[in-house]
């Protein structure tokens, strides 16, 4: 059988994809909690650290997903899901396209948080904006984690 | 760059342009993983194709070009007079970004609706239970 790009190491990449996704989910939940406290006037210096971790881990998840994708596209989607479970292909397509949509907000939170003075009242609207960005990213991450797990129960690479 | 207003507007522009280009889905190179070749949609190669790389790349490229111009212009304006945004403008722009992201997600789901209505191929077991 002809080998696909990155197929020999696809299982290792999939594990790293999963690990980075857990890091991204955790940092995003922490970030949202910190923003909620910040809007009430409390400041946690870890906000900038969590934002940096979210941006890096999301980018890593995104790139690793892109590397695994050729193997998934042929061995799972083409050979099984498209014909036998077309709705599962629909779930996957929403997952991958949603991941692209959330990429700029995930990196954008970090870029913006670096410049916010959390003690200045005139910067509170920016904290709110960061909260919306992080909320959008968390929504995509939760769906993608669920869809990734569920599709893996049907067939994996 | 120490001004959050410049970064916030630049990010907003990047998100709007990315979402618009992504939903518009202009012709972009497609990757054929079995043959390991790239082709354009009007000159397709044989075998299953992957459009996600090209679609994301084109949308990211468009977002980077337009937001880069926005960043340059705002930085120039900021040197003459500090660029600031009123709180209401920030809230309004945030609401517009949220709406843009929501519309994009709805658009993506609608794009995929055929997969949810398509009937699966009939499976004939090769043995009796």
Q: Show the domain range for A65.
A: 7-154
Q: How big is chain A by its Cα radius of gyration, in Å?
A: 18
Please write the tens of the pLDDT for every residue from B79-97: 999 999 999 999 999 999 9
Return d(Cα B37, Cα B31) in angstroms, integer: 6
**Average pLDDT score, chain A:** 95
Give residue A3's pLDDT band: very low, low, confident or very high (50, 70, 90).
confident
Q: Flag whether pLDDT at A44 surpasses 70.
A: yes
Please write the tens of the pLDDT for every residue from A112-145: 999 999 989 999 999 999 999 999 999 999 999 9
Question: Number of CB pairs < 8 Å for A and B?
Answer: 117
CB contacts, 8 Å: B11 with chain A? 104, 108, 111-112
**How many structural domains compose chain B?**
1
Residue B125 confidence (pLDDT):
60
Say if B30 falls within a structural domain. Answer: yes
Closest-CA residue of B relative to A113 is B4
Q: Is A11 on the interface with B (CB under 8 A)?
A: no
Residue A106 confidence (pLDDT):
98
Percent of chain B with pLDDT over 90: 84
Percent of chain B with pLDDT over 70: 93
Angle at B16 between CA B65 and CA A125, to 5 degrees: 110
Say if B75 falls within a structural domain. Answer: yes
Helices A86-101 and A46-71 cross at an angle (nearest 10°) of 140
**Average pLDDT score, chain B:** 93
Q: Flag whether pLDDT at A1 surpasses 90.
A: no
CB contacts, 8 Å: B85 with chain A? 125
Report the DSSP beta bridge partners of residue B50. Answer: B31
Say if A145 falls within a structural domain. Answer: yes
Say if A136 falls within a structural domain. Answer: yes
Which tokens hold the place of A45? 């210096």
Say if A1 falls within a structural domain. Answer: no
Q: Flag whether pLDDT at B123 surpasses 70.
A: no
Say if B39 falls within a structural domain. Answer: yes
Mutate to test the interface with A, among B102, B112, B124 (most CBs of A within 10 A): B112
Residue B95 confidence (pLDDT):
98
Say if B123 falls within a structural domain. Answer: no
Residue B129 confidence (pLDDT):
58
Which tokens hold the place of B110? 């609608």
Q: DSSP string of A68-90?
A: HHHHIIIIIIIIIIHHH-HHHHH
Say if B67 falls within a structural domain. Answer: yes
Q: Flag whether pLDDT at B119 surpasses 90.
A: no
Say if B121 falls within a structural domain. Answer: no
Q: Flag whether pLDDT at B44 surpasses 90.
A: no
Give residue B128's pLDDT band: very low, low, confident or very high (50, 70, 90).
low
CB contact under 8 A, A115 and B4: yes
Say if B126 falls within a structural domain. Answer: no
Say if A2 falls within a structural domain. Answer: no
Q: Show the domain range for B91.
A: 4-99+106-111
**How many structural domains compose chain A?**
1
Which tokens hold the place of A19? 């690990």
Give residue B67's pLDDT band: very low, low, confident or very high (50, 70, 90).
very high
CB contact under 8 A, B48 and A4: no
Q: Chain A neighbours among B 105-124 (CB < 8 Å)?
A: 105, 108-109, 111-116, 118-121, 123
Q: Is A87 on the interface with B (CB under 8 A)?
A: yes
Q: Flag whether pLDDT at B124 surpasses 80.
A: no
Ranking A16-25, A62-71, B23-32, B113-122 by mean pLDDT, the lowest is B113-122
Q: Is A1 on the interface with B (CB under 8 A)?
A: no
Residue B126 confidence (pLDDT):
65
Please write the tens of the pLDDT for every residue from A70-127: 999 999 999 999 999 999 999 999 999 999 999 999 999 999 999 999 989 999 999 9
């Amino acid at each position: 059988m002809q080998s696909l790009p990155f197929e020999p190491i696809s299982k290792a990449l999939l594990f790293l994809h999963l690990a980075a996704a857990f890091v991204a989910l955790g940092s995003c939940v922490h970030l949202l909690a910190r923003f909620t406290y910040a809007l009430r006037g409390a400041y946690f210096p870890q906000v900038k650290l969590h934002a940096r971790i979210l941006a890096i881990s999301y980018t890593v998840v995104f790139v690793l997903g892109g590397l695994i994708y050729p193997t998934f596209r042929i061995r799972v989607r083409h050979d099984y899901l498209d014909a036998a479970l077309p709705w599962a292909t629909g779930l996957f397509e929403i997952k991958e396209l949603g991941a692209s949509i959330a990429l700029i907000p995930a990196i954008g939170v970090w870029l913006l948080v670096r410049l916010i003075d959390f003690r200045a009242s005139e910067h509170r609207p920016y904290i709110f904006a960061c909260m919306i960005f992080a909320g959008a990213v968390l929504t995509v991450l939760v769906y993608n984690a669920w869809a990734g797990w569920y599709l893996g129960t049907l067939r994996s690479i | 760059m120490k001004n959050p207003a410049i970064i916030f507007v630049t990010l907003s522009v990047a998100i709007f342009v990315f979402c618009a280009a992504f939903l518009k889905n202009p012709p972009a190179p497609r990757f054929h993983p079995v043959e390991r070749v790239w082709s354009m949609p009007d000159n397709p190669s044989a075998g299953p194709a992957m459009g996600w790389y090209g679609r994301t790349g084109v949308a990211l490229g468009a977002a980077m070009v337009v937001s880069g111009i926005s960043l340059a212009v705002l930085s120039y304006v900021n040197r003459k007079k500090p660029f600031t945004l009123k709180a209401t403008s920030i809230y309004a722009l945030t609401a517009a970004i949220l709406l843009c992201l929501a519309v994009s997600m709805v658009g993506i789901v609608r794009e995929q609706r055929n997969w949810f209505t398509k009937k699966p191929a009939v499976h004939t077991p090769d043995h009796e239970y």
